[in-house]
Each structure stands twice: as structure tokens, then as C-alpha cells.
Structure 1
């Protein structure tokens, strides 16, 4: 496996608008994670943050609702968490967090039909429908008048975020601030249980066939365990988990529906390509061997996560953020009982063919503009909401939501470097994350991106701070990484290549535009035909593939590719 020469490489800096305001000191000690001097952001430009929390806290307390179009979390009030209570003390605002149960399009469709929305909406993949319905209010004036920190953080990207009418309706979830810090773990991978690698003597694993052979051999050696070789996720909008692997197996990063050539910058759809045929044919064969979980095509997300934590599933492909809850549960169990470490999963940089460089580690790229958080027409006091978002973007509160409270969840050494003690690392498990609020505030809010740095040079994200990542490793982590001569999981993967357009799936599309309709039609065909192809008897696979590709040929794929290529080249020109 390809080793990375160093995993902490500071890449090109992104612009941050200079500001000169100092913190007011309106937080008490418990609510202040760190004093922000406004002296700089690590690249020579000032990032003083404006803090209006003293005035905000004097206002009457209110509760607003945020609906998040992603399932997998429980509904909760933010002030039931430590972080949320601190932010309520600062602003007087509490949010009731509601998460998706059931089908996203059905839920959003009901809101649109009734014209009744929560005050704040994170519609995820249904954002075009929400925009088309006029559910979001423009944010331009609110930001100009009430949100200096939003302007400071999002300022360099505002023009990329505007709708066709020139207005700003939602904020992308996160943007790059300061230096770029690479992730010590890959963004996606083919995962395998550690006990499989241990029993095989920790072999080098490069290709899909090598990966599957490990799984076959382990299942054969343990017939009494009733093991599942591989499982996949196909529920609702998460269908990409079974549709995307041909992209990575071919050596490309997650650009969604296309492979973008690094030299020509031409975008090519792969949904009906030979690479996809090769992937589906492999699953078809795996299913015929009894090693693929047929329920993959009917299970919902919660059932999928439950299977990953059941100790019965040997392998799967997915984005790490999507399975992080399962990985956390397994890691917490291994930390308490080392005998459980074998059920943890290990990420592998699998490609179709030996010698193909992988591209699983997220590269530095552009801005995701087709996802975000917006204030709806049902909000009675948008000013209070935008002020809350703005207050979150002070450096103090970016530290609070990521690192927590100094002396409780992190420490600062004599050089000003943030770290966690071994006791803190052992205490901060999944249950603690929920109680403290790290889980609720780790995503979905306006924030610095995970790869960002703070003004003093510390990493914004705890796990990206080298010394913290190393200390957070369990004995099982250290053992298996040592077997492969690595210090981080990303050491096992190829170095990411800079792509100014990345990710192509993040390009905003107008509702009912040709490209948006192509994506919807493409996914509909995949959901119809993928189960037929994977679950067919091997001698019927070719007929099912032919039926699928004939239906796919009726789509305007050339038009979609041309539009995507144009977007890619525009991003490059504006880089």
C-alpha cells in the first residue's frame, strides 16, 4: 500500500476577509472555550470576531425548530446539551432539533403542500424542491445588518452561493478557513473487520478480488458464525452507497455522478459504464455464493447501522461520515474490552486493478453549493436566528463546538497547542458526545470546515490535530496500523490530488432543470434495475444489464456531461 510521506501537509491558503473587532468578554468562564485576541488567522490576515452575546442574552428566551432531512439522530432540544445551554445563555435561543423519519421527499412534500415549515430547514437532497417552493427567505439583508461573522467566514464564497436571481437563500454547512489540514482518515473506503486481516496474517490488499477473497476464506473457516460477507446501503437518497463504488474502484474521488479527467477536465457519467457493469457483476457473483446480504435492497438506514454493529458483517463500502455512528460504537466497545477490537472495521484503498492509484482521501477543492441551512417563510423572527448562527462563528464558539471547554474536554500546553489527556479521551465516548453536544453540533450548522485551522494555528477539528489523533488511538488501532507501517489510516491511501472543482456533486442545480431531471431519472433507473442485476442468477445478468442500458440510453447523458464539464471549467477559471 502506498505510504504518505507525511500526513500533516499544509496546502494552499483560502482567503479570509479581515476583521478588526475584539471579543466583548460577555461569556462566563464556563461558556468561554478560549479567549480570541483577533490577532491573526495563521496566514497573516486578521480574523477578529464580533461578539454580541451580552446584548443577546438579555433578550427573552425563545425556542425555534430545525428540521434536518437526514435520519439517524434522535430529536432533542439543544439546551439539553452542555454546548447548547452555553449558546442559549449567550443568545437566549434554544433549538428543537427534529430529524427525518421515513421518506425525505414525502416529508418535504407535505411541508410544501401545507406551506407550513419549521423556522429553520436543512432539506439535504431535497433542497431544489424547497427552493422551487419559495420556502426560504433571502438572507442578504439579514447578513449585512446582523451577521459580521458570517460575512467574515463566508465572505470569499458569497458569490458562489447565490441563486439564479442573485440572492442568497441558504448557507452551505461549512467553508474552509485558514490553512488546510488533511484528514488522518479516508473519506470513504472498502471496510473489513480487523479479525479477517489478523487471521490472514495482515496481507497487503490492493484489488477488489483480493478483498473479496479474504472475505470468502474467512466465511468458509467460520461456518458456525452465520456471517454475512458484504452488505450495502440503498435506502432513499443514500442509494449512492451502492452506486458510487465504480468511481473509487477506477481511481477517482467522490465527484458524484461523473468521473472528471484531470488533464482535459471533461466529465463523464459512469452509471452505465463498463466499470459499473464490472462492479454489479461482482456483486451478482457474490450473491450467488451466498455472501451478499439480499436485504441490502430493503433495509432502512437504522437496520443497516444495526447490522454493522452486530459483529456479523465482514465487509462493506461507504462514506465514513455515513457509518461514523457504527464505527464509534465499535470503537467504544473495544476501548472498554480489547477482545472486541477484532469486530472493528479497517479501511482499505481498494481498486479494480493493481497499480491503479486510489483516490479515497478527500482532496482540497471548492464549495458545496447544493446543500445548506436556511431560514423559512414560517420564521417570525429571522433576526434572532441569523444572530445565533453568527454567534456560532466566533472563534470562541467554533472552539466550543469542536473542542469543548478548556480544563474539561481539552487542555492547552505551553506552546498554545490544544490536546486531550488520556482520561479525557477515554471519557469522551458516543454517550458523552450526545450529552455534551459534540454530536449535535458536529455538522449541519454554519461553521468552519473540518479541515480548517483556528487563528492560533490549532486545528479546528479535534481529530485532525496530529497529537490528539495519535493519543486517541486504541491499543488495537496502534497494533494494526503498526502491522502496515502506518501512523494514520490515511497513510495507507494515496495522496489526494488538488481539484479546484471538487466535489462535482456539490454544483447547485435549478429545480426541474435538465441536469436535475437527469439525476432523478438516472437514480430511478438504478433503483429499479440494480436489484434485478445483483440478485439475478448469473446466467441472467447479461440480459438484465442489457435491459438497464437500453433504458439508460434514452436519457440525455451527453447534455448532463456537457453541463457538468462547463461547471468544472468555470470553477477552475475562478480558482
Structure 2
């Protein structure tokens, strides 16, 4: 991507999933004081972990999936042979806060937890042990991997409780995770592959197609689907800022001239986003059931091929895309556009490389052998094991050319069915562990879906047809290059830690409760009542402690500009 002109694209999720899939005294130190958190500049070989079999429990609150043991997979078995360690994986079912609340109340926690949005709840309950001494003693490879970010790991008390994901080493464009407004390829084909730029153009296309084809696959055509389940409600609130040409800072946007944060909840662009959905509902395009549907129901609808459009992030819809891939019907695959409200607005959907310290993996106070767990983590982040976990085995799931470049054959690329991904272990190890990102020391991409050789070889005939139709070389050409991280040293505000019960955390909770109540009403209202209802909602929003929250956000910005961790 070069220059500042906007390039048009439809992001090929089929390619992304295909690439990513083939491709997230007990040894615990005393919690009384902070241990040193300085990173060594070179990794030394730690004492080899004991090979006596050990099984630890791992709870993943961030992703749906099949529960099971890592040693039941090819990759997990290899790691068990190296370390003697197996993990019994459990995924979140139901409400996140309820699940964590039950765990904490019972006191018998899994050994390892990925709490996702519940991280502050876990930290406030002191459910994670400090890792400083364990990392000093057993984590030379972890310290090397996270060296650049080491000063960002400790909490305010100086202890490290969480190991974040994805310590990036070099920027490689994200092929499938930037948010986008997705639309079926069949819709684009029907109307000659138009270049979509605005939200109005997008819904106009959906309306015309639905009128022409009221049924798909024996069921009623659904114009637009929303994801609102539990913590995923952000999928409904986030698009407003993106549509205004702003990056995703969470609950605020930042005025680049003043470096001041302002809440988004009562802005004109949020109003216009909801009013567009209100019109879509009045036109019979919006699926009312999506406002109460669970995540698995949402995925099922996308998988059925009847939904023409939706806003989402690639990592949330992977199961649906995998299901659609199995049908072989390219017209029902989705492609994404970074839409804006008004023509000429520069979109900012793609994030610069950021290191989110408020998402990661922690070892709980119930862990039977924290030292053994850290040894496992340290072993898995060795570069040869990172290549194993993301690329697989040479000769089986990837090849290496005479220049040392990794690639995949057509047969290896086609190893994309969910059963293979599960049995091989890609599903368990693709994320949600200590890990790197970006580029290996030899210049190959960490992940196959970032490797040019794999991307080029992975394009289907349908992909190639659309690339040609839109005059694109690669599917990410639609996005502007992300802003220079030096211009937004604070980015993104949403990653700043918030203690349970703090004014900023309470604001977010009250704001979310208010929007969960009002956004469905605003979307489903009679159009002539929308203005009055919006004013009523906005008045209630302004009764929240907006100033305190904005002051907190501005403190985060100023601290990060000054090089302080927040």
C-alpha cells in the first residue's frame, strides 16, 4: 500500500481463514513484594523441564471452541514429548462475568486462565500469581521474545500477572482481522462489482438484491445481521467511529489537533450509524432476531448463506467462513469494505502494530505447579516451536524453497477443514498463548496468512476474479496504511487497565447497560419517532459521569505520550 489515496477492496475472508487455519512450596513467589522485572538481552537455555507427565487446566474466555486435551492433537503431542505437559482446554459457554464470578466464588480455579474482557475482575480478585521470579528463573526465551515490551508488563505494584499475546517483531499487514462491512460476493457480482465507499451505497445494494432474490437456499433472505451477544456487543458500537474515519480507541475518539479524548456515545456519527440501521429495519433489511441471538446462533445464520451483509472482525466469524468454504459456493462467501458515512472521508480501519497489555494469559492461585507451566510457556516460544505451532511440520503442512522462504503447496493449503484444524492442533495453538508476531529472524512471516508466497498461491478462482474486477493485487489494498505509531503513541486508549469499581470502569458498565437498553429500541423504532428517542437516550447518556471518564482517558493519553505505562 503506497501513497494516501484510497484503494478499493473486498477483503477475502475465504483466503484468510484458509491461510490462518492451515496455518490464538509450589513454585509460586510470594505476593508480598515485587520481584525484579528487568529483561535479559539474550536467552539462555533454562533447565530442561521435567518430563514426568503433568496435565494442567486451561480456561479460555476469549474464544469458542471444542473442549479437549492438547495432547490429543499432533502439535500438542509434540509439545508433550518435549516437556511432559498436557493442557485440558475449556472454552467459555454463556456469560463471561457470570462464569468468572462462579469460578472466583468457588475458589477452585483452573491452573491457567485467558480472561479476555474479564481481566480486571480477575486482577481485582487477586486470582493471578506474580510471575516475576518465575520468569527470571525459568523464562529466558520469554524474556527475549518480550524484551522490547518488558517495561510494559508490570502492574502498578511492580508485579507481572499477565503475559500478553503477540509480541510483534516487524509490521506485516493483517490479512483478515481489521473490521469491515461484509457483503456476499453474489451481491457484488449481480451488480457488476461496484466500488463501495459509503454506508448508504452498501445498504442500497443489499436492498436491491433482497428485492430481486427474496429467498436463498430455501429460506428468507436476510439483509443485515448484527452481533450483540454478551461482551461481543462492541461489534454493534464500534462501527460508528470507523464510519466517521476514526480508528478504534474504544469508548472515545481523540482529536488529533488537541490530543484530547471525547466519548463517542452521544456523537453525531453514532446517531447517524443507528439511524441508518433504523432505516434498514424499516426497509425490512435488519434481522430483529440478531438483537437477542447468541453467538452460536449468529454463526449459524452466517453459515447458512442467507445473510447478505454484516459488520464484524475476521477472528469472530472464522467458524462461519470455514463452514461456507465447505459448500464450495463462492457467491455465498463474504467480502469486506472499510466504509465511511460520507464520500471523501479517509478511513482508518487498520491498526498500527500495538501491544495490548490488558489481554493475555495468567497463572492462577490454584495452579499446582506454576514453575512447570512457565517452563512450558518458555519452551513454546522458542523460534523453532513458534514455527511449529503456526506453520506445522515441514514436508507435511509447509515447504521451504532454496532461498529459505516458507510456502505451501496447493494440497497443503487445502487442508482447511475444521476437523483437520482441530486434530492437528492449529485451533488450540493459533492464539491465546505467549507468542510472537510479525517476522521471524529469517524474514518469514510468523503466520502463513501474512506470507506473500502463501497468499498468492491461496487465491481461488473466485478470489482471482474479484481481484481482477477491482483492479487489486492483494486483498488488503482496500485499506489505507495504518497511522504511524509515533503519531498515536497512546493508541489505543481501550487497552488501559481499569480497576473494578473505579469511576472509569463504572462509567463503562453504566454506558453499556444504557446502550444495551436503548440501541435496540432506536433500531426498531418507527422512523418518525427516532429523533425524539435519540434525544431521550442522549439526555440519559449525558447524566453519566462523562467528564470523569474523559479526564481518565486524557490522563492515559498524556501518560503514554510521556512514556509511562497505563
Alpha-carbon offset, residue 72 of structure 1: 2.0
Matches within 5 A, 1:3-42: 3=7
Alpha-carbon offset, residue 47 of structure 1: 8.6
Alpha-carbon offset, residue 559 of structure 1: 1.9
| Higher relative contact order structure (alpha carbons within 8 Å, sequence separation ≥ 6) | 2
How many residues align? The count is 526
User: Aligned match of 2:476 in 486, 490, 498?
Assistant: 490
Matches within 5 A, 1:45-194: 50=44, 55-56=48-49, 58-177=50-169, 179-185=170-176, 187-194=178-185
User: Aligned match of 1:535 in 521, 524, 537?
Assistant: 524
Structure 1: unaligned runs, 5 residues or longer: 8-32, 34-45, 335-339
Inter-partner Cα distance in structure 2 for 1:48 and 1:482: 47
1:223-281 Cα distance to aligned partner (Å, 9 max, x none): 24420100101000000011111111011122211112334322221111111111111
Instruction: Find the residue that maps to 1:440 and give its secondary structure.
Output: helix
Inter-partner Cα distance in structure 2 for 1:51 and 1:428: 36
Inter-partner Cα distance in structure 1 for 2:289 and 2:439: 42
Alpha-carbon offset, residue 574 of structure 1: 2.4
The match for 2:238 is 244
Question: Which deviates more from structure 2 when the two are superposed, residues 129-138 or residues 497-506?
Answer: 497-506
Instruction: Find the residue that maps to 2:505 and give its secondary structure.
Output: helix
User: Aligned match of 1:290 in 279, 284, 288?
Assistant: 284
CA contact (8 A) 1:186 1:489 kept: no
Alpha-carbon offset, residue 316 of structure 1: 0.2
Instruction: Find the residue that maps to 2:55 and give its secondary structure.
Output: strand
Matches within 5 A, 1:470-549: 470-499=456-485, 500-549=489-538
Please tell me whether residue 401 in structure 1 is matched to residue 370 in structure 2.
no
CA contact (8 A) 1:233 1:297 kept: yes
Inter-partner Cα distance in structure 2 for 1:462 and 1:48: 27
The match for 1:461 is 447
CA contact (8 A) 1:172 1:372 kept: yes
CA contact (8 A) 1:4 1:494 kept: no
Alpha-carbon offset, residue 158 of structure 1: 2.5
Instruction: Find the residue that maps to 1:439 and give its secondary structure.
Output: helix
Please tell me whether residue 560 in structure 1 is matched to residue 549 in structure 2.
yes
Please tell me whether residue 208 in structure 1 is matched to residue 199 in structure 2.
yes
Matches within 5 A, 1:352-431: 352-364=341-353, 366-431=354-419
Instruction: Find the residue that maps to 1:282 and give its secondary structure.
Output: helix
CA RMSD of aligned residues (A): 2.0
Alpha-carbon offset, residue 50 of structure 1: 4.6
Seen in structure 2, the aligned counterparts of structure 1 residues 352 and 545 have a Cα distance that, compared at 3 Å, is same
Normalised by the size of structure 1, how large is the TM-score? 0.88
Inter-partner Cα distance in structure 2 for 1:4 and 1:496: 15
User: Aligned match of 1:300 in 294, 298, 301?
Assistant: 294
Alpha-carbon offset, residue 184 of structure 1: 3.3
Alpha-carbon offset, residue 108 of structure 1: 0.5
CA contact (8 A) 2:358 2:495 kept: yes
CA contact (8 A) 1:68 1:122 kept: yes
Instruction: Find the residue that maps to 2:323 and give its secondary structure.
Output: helix
1:278-333 Cα distance to aligned partner (Å, 9 max, x none): 11111111111111000111100000011111110000001111112212322343
Instruction: Find the residue that maps to 1:150 and give its secondary structure.
Output: helix
User: Aligned match of 1:433 in 421, 437, 460?
Assistant: 421
Inter-partner Cα distance in structure 1 for 2:474 and 2:539: 45
Alpha-carbon offset, residue 186 of structure 1: 5.3
